[in-house]
Structure 1
Amino acid sequence: MLILITLFVLGFLLGMTGAGGAGVVIAVLTAAFGVPIHLALGTSLSAMTFTTLSGAVSHFREGNVRIRTGAAVGVFGAAGAFTGAKIAAMIPAADLHWFTGGMMLLSMALMYLRLYHPQSGPFAYVGTTELEGGSRFWLTAVPAGFVVGCLSGTFGIGATPFIQLVLLILFGLPLPVAIGTTMMVILPIAVFGGLGYLLEGNLDFTLFIQVVAGLMTGAYIGAKFTRRIPRKVLKVVMTIIPGIGALVLFLE
């Protein structure tokens, strides 16, 4: 019950600010409740199947999803996520804490650049011509999907900033469409990444149900308060959330 209540509060905050928060879920499960890191990664990744589903459907209805691009990157991302789950099982728990924390810091840096300096860093190379088909499309989708999926599967995170970078730079999608298509890409990654963790014995269904129930309920209610938060506050919270998760993992 304590886990359920804690994840409800966390889901409320994430829903209110629009932040992803997969890293914070991992940090909370390991530091506050003593859940082994591999089990926390599998649970967090699997839970994203449900926490991103509603977002993907909503973006699809708004016309912010490129079905072909999302399906292509998502399918190969699923293969990468399944592989990543196998890789994570071979990494000692102590090392996985540091690796996952490092990925969260990198995610924070990318989120900062996207929100505060969209014309600098890697975002300065955002494509202007959308890549829609042909051999170049598939030569891009296969390795890009596999890499972002492998990152997500290995470290149990959504890899949202990395997927958005791929869609913005390599596929030339407009930002609103890149955000919506990212939701679609994450779905197969979460499903097959979770399956990989399940086959490795790193997924507990009771904990999984508690996490999903708490996050989804809290996020649904929290989203109703989003318009009451100043935009500057939202940007700050979205930027620092991955850093908080990384700090907790480093100190744990």
Structure 2
Amino acid sequence: MSEPTTFIKLDRNILRWRWYKKPNTFRLFVHLLLNANVVDRDFENITVCRGQLLTSRRSLSASLGISEQSVRTSLEHLKSTNEITVRGFSKYSIITVNNYDKYQKTPDKSTAFPPSANHPPTTVQPQYKNDNKEKNYKNDKNTEVRLPALGLFKNVFLTQQELDSLKSQYPDNYSDKIERLSRYLASTGKFYRNHYAVLLQWLEQDLPKEPKRKASYDIDELEKINILDDIN
């Protein structure tokens, strides 16, 4: 019995796409579309979401038969026109195809199927242990809705519930802090397990601190609480 298949959609307007006549860039983009996850899949300590794939320049080079430098150049082309977002780690990268739903419809339960010997996961999964610092922030899929990556560099991850909480508690400052965190992560390469916790800490630090109340040594007040009687 044959397994169900999925398809990608390419609009004929792609003939006028600026990278259509760049063979390596065009091939790479189609390769990413064909290999991106159709549904969320867990890999070790991370979740690779729909429209994403876990890979590396070396793996892409081997799959496409082009040099790693050509892969790097093609990735830069695609990033420059916001076709993809790349989140790099020490041993691999997670590439997100932006607007993935334009190319691949969401499968219903009748067409979605788990990995099997004949149908492996659509992500390229390297065989090595994941470093602790590379653990992605995972959400409980049964209770929380994962949002697209936020911030200028698309590297801040929150659930809908967390974002709503920030909007409610800090309506004037939350968006600035998200952008600040995005720039900080991109410029330093640091990893935080829980972006919501970091944002809360930063926002709480900005709250005005209440001045410390000075101790009162008013004689009348001391007499009222009988402290002077004890002294005498």
TM value normalised by structure 2: 0.28
User: Could you say which structure has the greater relative contact order, defined with CA pairs below 8 angstroms and 6 or more residues apart?
Assistant: 1
Question: Greater share of helix residues, 1 or 2?
Answer: 1
Is the strand fraction higher in 1 or 2? 2
Larger radius of gyration: 2
